[in-house]
Structure 1
Amino acid sequence: MAQKTIEVEGMTCGHCKSAVEGALSELEGVKSADVNLDANNVNVEYDESKVTEASMAEAIEDQGYDVKQ
C-alpha cells in the first residue's frame, strides 16, 4: 500500500469532506481517504497497482475542487 497527501483547494465544510472522501472511496484500490479541512488536503492510502494519482485527482476535480499538483 502507498500513501499520498493530495493538496485540494476549495474545501470548506463537512459536505466538502464527505464529497471528496466518498469520491475517492469509490475508486477501486483506495483503502482509505481522510480529509483535513484545516490543512486543505486529503491523505489517501491506496494500492498503486489498481489506482493512479491521476485518477484520484480526477475524482476530486469531478466533485468541483481543485487539486494542486
Structure 2
Amino acid sequence: MRKQDIEISISPSGEVTFQVKGVKGASCLDETKFLEEALGGGVIEQERTPEYYQQPDESYISSYAGGDDDDD
C-alpha cells in the first residue's frame, strides 16, 4: 500500500494551506473535503499537482452497489 499524507501549514496570519501527497487522480479532492468544511469552506485558491493528472491505482478504487437484496 502506498503512503498517503496531507501536509497542513498555518501561516502567522492564520492562512491555512494543505497539500495531499501519495494520492493519484481527483480522489485527493475527497480526501481534503473534511478540512475544507472544518475551515468554513472558503477555498481561495486550488492548485493541482502532477499526481492529480495520474491514473489512480486500482487498489484505491472501491465501489458500492446499493440495492435491495430481497428476492421477493
**TM-score band w.r.t. shorter chain:** 0.3 to 0.5
Higher-RCO chain (CA-CA 8 Å, sequence separation at least 6): 1
Structure whose CA Rg is larger: 2
When normalised by structure 2's length, the TM-score is: 0.34
When normalised by structure 1's length, the TM-score is: 0.35
